Chains A and B, each alone.
Chain A
Amino acid sequence: MIASTQVVDVRIEQYLNRLEAALAGVESGQREDILREIRAHLLDSAASAADRDGAVDRVLRMLGSPEELAERYSTECLLQRAGRSVSPWLLLRTCWRWAMLGTKGMLAFFLALIGYGTALVLTVSIFMKPFDSAVGLWLGVGKCCTLQVGTPDHPERMHELLGQWFVPVIAVVAFGAAIGTTRALRWMIRSRTSSLTDPVMQTGRSAI
Chain B
Amino acid sequence: MAINGNGERGQNWEAQLRKGCLEMAILATMWQSRLYGLEILRELAGKSQLEIAEGTLYPILGRLKAEGLLQSEWVEAEAGHPRKYYWLTAAGRLRVREMAGAWNEFAAKLAALVEPVTGGKER
Asked if A133 is at the interface of the complex by the 8 Å CB criterion, the answer is no
Q: Are B63 and A208 in contact (CB under 8 A)?
A: no
Q: Are A40 and B82 in contact (CB under 8 A)?
A: yes
Interface 1/0 per residue, B83-96 and A, CB below 8 Å: 11000000000000
Cα A6 to Cα B66 with chains together (Å): 32
Q: Are B18 and A208 in contact (CB under 8 A)?
A: yes
**Cβ distance A92 to chain B, nearest Cβ, rounded Å:** 20
Cα A3 to Cα B55 with chains together (Å): 27
Closest to A78 in B: B63
Q: Are B63 and A207 in contact (CB under 8 A)?
A: no
Q: Are A72 and B23 in contact (CB under 8 A)?
A: no
Asked if B19 is at the interface of the complex by the 8 Å CB criterion, the answer is yes
Closest to B44 in A: A208
Count A-B contacts at CB 8 Å. 109
Q: Are B60 and A203 in contact (CB under 8 A)?
A: no
Q: Are B53 and A207 in contact (CB under 8 A)?
A: yes
Asked if A199 is at the interface of the complex by the 8 Å CB criterion, the answer is yes
Residues of B within 8 A of A157 (CB): none
Residues of A within 8 A of B58 (CB): 34, 37-38, 41, 69, 73
Cα A62 to Cα B37 with chains together (Å): 13
Asked if B98 is at the interface of the complex by the 8 Å CB criterion, the answer is no
Asked if A13 is at the interface of the complex by the 8 Å CB criterion, the answer is no
Chain A residues proximal to chain B, CB less than 8 Å:
3, 5-6, 33-34, 36-41, 43-45, 47, 59, 62-64, 68-69, 72-73, 75-77, 79-80, 193-194, 196-200, 203, 205-208
**Cβ distance A73 to chain B, nearest Cβ, rounded Å:** 5
Q: Are A45 and B55 in contact (CB under 8 A)?
A: no
Q: Are A194 and B19 in contact (CB under 8 A)?
A: yes
**Cβ distance A114 to chain B, nearest Cβ, rounded Å:** 25
Residues of B within 8 A of A5 (CB): 79-81
Q: Are A45 and B38 in contact (CB under 8 A)?
A: yes
Task: Tell me which of B22, B67, B81 contacts A208 (CB under 8 A).
Answer: B22
Residues of B within 8 A of A203 (CB): 53
Chain B residues proximal to chain A, CB less than 8 Å:
11, 14-15, 18-20, 22-23, 36-38, 50-56, 58-60, 62-63, 66-67, 74, 79-84
Closest to A6 in B: B80
Given A40-B84, A41-B37, are A69 and B59 neighbors across the interface (CB < 8 Å)? yes
Residues of B within 8 A of A206 (CB): 11, 14-15, 18, 51
Output the residue of B36, B37, B62 with the most chain A CB within 10 A: B62
Given A73-B62, A77-B62, are A64 and B38 neighbors across the interface (CB < 8 Å)? no
Cα A196 to Cα B63 with chains together (Å): 11
Residues of A within 8 A of B62 (CB): 34, 73, 76-77
Task: Tell me which of B22, B59, B79 contacts A76 (CB under 8 A).
Answer: B59
Cα A115 to Cα B83 with chains together (Å): 45
Task: Tell me which of A62, A76, A198 contacts B63 (CB under 8 A).
Answer: A76
- A5-B79, A44-B79, A194-B23 given; name 10 further pairs at CB < 8 Å: A6-B80, A34-B58, A40-B37, A43-B80, A44-B38, A72-B59, A76-B60, A77-B63, A194-B60, A208-B15
